[in-house]
Amino acid sequence: MFSAILLFAAQVADNPDAKPPVTADDVRIVQRAKEIIDSPAKWNRADNRKCPASATTFSIYCALEKATKEVSGDFAHRGAAMQEARFVIDAIAPNAEKYDHRLMDYNNDPTTKFADLQKFFTLLEGRVSKRLALEAAFRELDEMCARDNGRMWGKSLCGPTLLVDPATREVTANQETPEPLLPKSIGIANTSVDWGGKMWTMVMLPLPQDEYDRRVLLAHESFHRIQKDLGLFAGKEGGNAHLDTIDGRVWLQMEWRALAAALQGDRSTIDDALAFRAKRQSLFPNAAEEERGLMTREGLAEYTGTAFAEPSMTKRVPHLIAMLHDAETRPTFTRSFAYISGPAWGALLEMRGFKPTDDVERLGTPSPQPNLEKYGYSALVVSEKARDTKKQAMLRDFRARFVDGPTLVLPLHKFTFEMDPNATIPFEPYGTVYPTLTLRDSWGTIVVKKGGALISSDWTRLTVPFPLSDDYVLSLH
């Protein structure tokens, strides 16, 4: 352990872009440094990075050095507050690319005014405070992993983790990263990613403010990092287009309502939930296989997230019931259903002492004649028919835009993309429409701000209306 600390210290000392962990002391250091140079008369405009104890004026470098010694009793040239100050200068200084020593050169730059100095310290305090909050998320993840101790999956979820700002591509990580910014060749999403020969968990900022939601997200994405090693990562996802039909949506919501009743204590409704599930899958030839694929890929991850976030079943159940109720308001279920069904079925399996990978049919036998009106069947059918009328008008518009009208077709080879899984719209037999997305492939990048893009069912091509409007930004290599 001691040798590892020495190695990290050596890496920090030699790396101008090192990002050592921040602490609450670093916030106080920045606040104290700002106090030290609280007027133009106390500002030394000719810094040489030498800071005598008898000094009465201070450069940025010397103010941070003095503040660090006062707050922590020690000083490091590559300490967290010092490094974050350098990164702020990178971001705001017009002449930053010309600086050999960022702190000294920005301080001595004749274009730097006292108002700029005050703004610099304000930005620095905000940056350090933000990093402190982000690193608290790493501690939350570590706490969850320590509590589980590898019991659920036979190994720890914790490992290399990135928190990424989509606007700047800046990363905050729990390990040394290959670069301070995520390369443009890597799409930003909540996922796992290979970067520099290492598999990372990636989570987009901002993190959820709610503690439970934040912990679910961190554990969910951490599960994805080890999912392939566990042999629990399905191949290409099926479209689950049946979940955008009247019957598919009705029987899925009936299943969710029965699951909510089961979690509230009426265990007889598990058999009803199994009956509604079986009914739905019997109506569509590929339903069982396609649902199983997404339940394995995302349902298990979301169940893991909920179980790690709240191991107490008594405290977790209210979250699951609220989630089942709220799910019915989602615009589409085709990809989002697994995030709802996975945690609910997983909790019921857990209650009975089964594994989360066990078939849910182990929980009971489908009811032969469930009471449909107990779950509001008739009203649900009326609601879904009204929704479908609006949907058909939308599909006619899709046909005009992506099939009958002039289009641009881009081949898909080895691509990454960022999209909202809750907004995808099946467009059979052609594929799936994504209202917005950013997709990267060997030929370049396309950003769809609005208007949508069609990805074919076999994942080999992307289609957009042509000529491109301002809602589409295509960048070719």
Kindly write down the DSSP assignment for every residue of 127-187, as one continuous string: HHHHHHHHHHHHHHHHHHHHHHTTTTTSS-S-S-EEEE-TTT-BEEESS--SSSB--TTS-
DSSP output for 77-102:
TT-HHHHHHHHHHHHH-TTGGG-SSH
Say if CB 346 and CB 307 are below 8 A apart. yes
Say if CB 355 and CB 349 are below 8 A apart. yes
The pLDDT of residue 167: 87
- The verdict on whether omega for the bond into residue 429 sits within 30 degrees of 0, i.e. cis, is yes
At residue 312's C-alpha, the angle toward residues 311 and 314, to 5°, is 145
Q: Is residue 139 in a domain?
A: no
Same-domain check for residues 26 and 127: yes
Both structure tokens of 58:
């201070």
Q: What residue type is 474 in one-letter code?
A: L
Residue 157 CA to residue 146 CA, distance in Å, equals 10
Same-domain check for residues 117 and 167: no
Residue 458 CA to residue 28 CA, distance in Å, equals 55
Q: Quick one: 137 exposed, middle or buried, by C-beta within 10 A (0-12, 13-18, 19+)?
A: buried
List the domain range (segments joined by +) for residue 453. 386-476
Q: Of 349, 375, 401, which marks where a domain is finished?
A: 375
Q: Quick one: 322 exposed, middle or buried, by C-beta within 10 A (0-12, 13-18, 19+)?
A: exposed
Residue 197 CA to residue 175 CA, distance in Å, equals 14
Q: Is residue 111 in a domain?
A: yes
Q: Of 375, 409, 428, which marks where a domain is finished?
A: 375
Say if CB 59 and CB 212 are below 8 A apart. no
Same-domain check for residues 251 and 156: no
Same-domain check for residues 297 and 333: yes
Q: Is residue 381 in a domain?
A: no
Q: What is the pLDDT of residues 237-247, one digit of tens each?
A: 678 989 999 99
The pLDDT of residue 32: 97
Q: Is residue 223 in a domain?
A: yes
Both structure tokens of 374:
């107990």
The pLDDT of residue 477: 84
The pLDDT of residue 2: 35
Q: Is residue 128 in a domain?
A: yes
Provide CB contacts within 8 A for 413, sequence distance 6+: 441, 442
Q: Is residue 140 in a domain?
A: no
Long-range CB contact pairs, 145-150, < 8 A, 24+ = 145/222, 145/308, 147/308, 147/311, 148/308, 148/311
Which range scores top for mean pLDDT: 70-79, 171-180, 257-266?
257-266
Task: Identify the CA nearest to 153 among candidates 239, 55, 263, 231.
Answer: 231
Count of domains in the chain?
A: 4
Q: Of 375, 402, 428, which marks where a domain is finished?
A: 375
> 267-278 burial, b for 16+ CB within 10 Å, e for fewer?
eebbbbbbbbbb
Same-domain check for residues 203 and 261: no
Same-domain check for residues 350 and 328: yes
Same-domain check for residues 288 and 337: yes
Q: Is residue 294 in a domain?
A: yes
Both structure tokens of 113:
């005014």
The pLDDT of residue 4: 35
- The verdict on whether omega for the bond into residue 206 sits within 30 degrees of 0, i.e. cis, is yes
The pLDDT of residue 223: 98
Using DSSP, state whether 212 is helix, strand or coil: helix
Q: What is the pLDDT of residues 154-188, one digit of tens each?
A: 999 999 999 999 888 989 999 989 988 999 888 88
Residue 83 CA to residue 17 CA, distance in Å, equals 7
Same-domain check for residues 116 and 171: no
Residue 188 CA to residue 381 CA, distance in Å, equals 39
The pTM score is 0.78
Same-domain check for residues 115 and 159: no
Same-domain check for residues 259 and 334: yes
Same-domain check for residues 63 and 120: yes
Q: What is the pLDDT of residues 292-343, one digit of tens each?
A: 999 999 999 999 999 999 999 999 999 999 999 999 999 889 989 999 999 9
pLDDT band with cut points at 50, 70 and 90 for residue 235: low
Same-domain check for residues 432 and 471: yes
Q: Is residue 141 in a domain?
A: no
Give the total residue count for the chain: 477
Average pLDDT value for residue range 42-60: 95
Q: What is the pLDDT of residues 1-15, one digit of tens each?
A: 333 333 344 444 558
